[in-house]
Structure 1
Amino acid sequence: MLANALVDAGALTAMELDIHKGMVTFNLFTHHPELTGHKLLPDMTRPADRYLTPDWRDFIMVTAA
């Protein structure tokens, strides 16, 4: 499902995020009027605001469109 979403969004190169479905997270963020997270797919189990608080085990990639 995530791979199809990335292809539909126009991705030419992508990578597997996690082999465990319950661990996969892909969030989009808006900043009007405040920074808010949104899940790419509604059935992703992690909260949409997951990367708005520190976590010692995770890394993130931020891009601007």
Structure 2
Amino acid sequence: MLALYDAVDCELHPLSVIGLGMFHRGAQAVSTKEADRDLTAVGNTAAHRGRGDAGTLFGRSE
């Protein structure tokens, strides 16, 4: 069950950071570059996310 919570956290945390960035900008979308900048600013490392850059959030093939 703990693995499920970790997987959910790995999905929701970066999405919430990106959502907050969208709200802050007053935009309905952000670029991959803006999302990467936001994720880096909050110290969200690739190790925590379990993937590379924010591009995989936008165009994930999993």
Q: TM-score interval w.r.t. the shorter chain? A: 0.3 to 0.5
Which structure is higher in helix share? 2
Higher relative contact order (CA 8 A, sep 6+): 2
Q: What is the TM-score normalised by the length of structure 1? A: 0.32
Structure having the higher Rg = 1
